Amino acid sequence: MSEPTAAPEPTTAPSPDPTAAPELTAAWAGSSRSGPGRVLIAVYALFALAASARAGVQIATKFGNAPVAYVLSAFAAVVYIIATVTLAVGSPTARRIAVLSCSVELAGVLAVGTWSLADPATFPDATVWSSYGSGYGFVPLVLPVFGLLWLRRWARRPSTRRTIVASAGDAGQAAGSGVDHGEGGGPGQGTEDAVADVRNRNALPAAAPGVS
């Protein structure tokens, strides 16, 4: 008699990967650099370049004429640089720094604008923020407002995305659990039936009476 053939090991279908949805896990930076975000970054980069060049030339060539104004222009340039970099990076930490820089920028425009109007003698040369940015078409005044509004809108997107990803992950785990246990007549149940059929076909016939 031939030896009974060993039944094949039952296989289970792999569980769905809950993270296999790249469209639901887009990077933070994608939202910060999309649509109006690109325009905002471009404007901040332009002001960072202009303020840095202006402050550098003024401090290097005629610092004694208006030291307060030139130092404030350099400070404004630093704020614009930080805002540009953090908006372009787009990470959660960068977003918090961008919010802080835009808030400091808005407070600086209001403070320096009021100071320059109340005490013109201190500002023989105008800064970027003098007279609330009138020399630049008041763009320095409205720019941080738009920046804060955009950052607020940007902050809402990742929380919504994480909720969708978590729901997709829970659904994937539930489906994987059902497949592994063969619930509801799924692939697991079909595997068990196939193994049982193989075992029945390979079973030894019962010995006849009187045969040793």
Domains in the chain, number? 1
Q: What is the pLDDT of residue 207?
A: 47
Residue 198 lies in a domain: no
Bigger pLDDT: 205 vs 59: 59
Q: What is the pLDDT of residue 113?
A: 96
User: Does pLDDT of 108 surpass 60?
Assistant: yes
Q: How far is CA 65 from CA 11, 78, 128, 180, 183, in A?
A: 83, 21, 16, 79, 83
**What is the token pair recorded at 33?**
């650099």
Residue 53 lies in a domain: yes
pLDDT in tens, 139-193: 999 999 999 999 988 777 655 444 444 554 554 555 555 545 555 444 445 555 5
Closest of 126, 151, 134, 204 to residue 44, by C-alpha? 151
Residue 168 lies in a domain: no
- 56 by Cβ neighbours in 10 Å (0-12 / 13-18 / 19+) ranks as middle
107 pLDDT band (50/70/90 cuts)? Answer: very high
Angle between helices 67-89 and 36-62 (to 10 degrees): 150
For the entire predicted model, the pTM comes to 0.62
**What is the token pair recorded at 62?**
């005629």
Residue 86 lies in a domain: yes
Alpha-carbon distance of 94 to 113, in angstroms, equals 28
Residue 107 lies in a domain: yes
Alpha-carbon distance of 55 to 39, in angstroms, equals 24
**What is the token pair recorded at 137?**
């078409």
Range of the domain at 61: 26-161
pLDDT in tens, 118-135: 999 999 998 999 999 999
Residue 12 lies in a domain: no
User: Does pLDDT of 99 surpass 70?
Assistant: yes
Residue 83, classed as helix, strand or coil, is helix
Q: How far is CA 155 from CA 35, 98, 167, in A?
A: 15, 12, 20
Q: Note whether 129 and 113 are within 8 A (CB).
A: yes
pLDDT in tens, 65-91: 999 999 999 999 999 999 999 999 988
Average pLDDT, the chain: 75
Angle between helices 67-89 and 139-180 (to 10 degrees): 20
Residue 152 lies in a domain: yes
Other CB atoms within a 10 A radius of the CB of residue 146 amount to: 15
Residue 97 lies in a domain: yes
User: Does pLDDT of 204 surpass 80?
Assistant: no
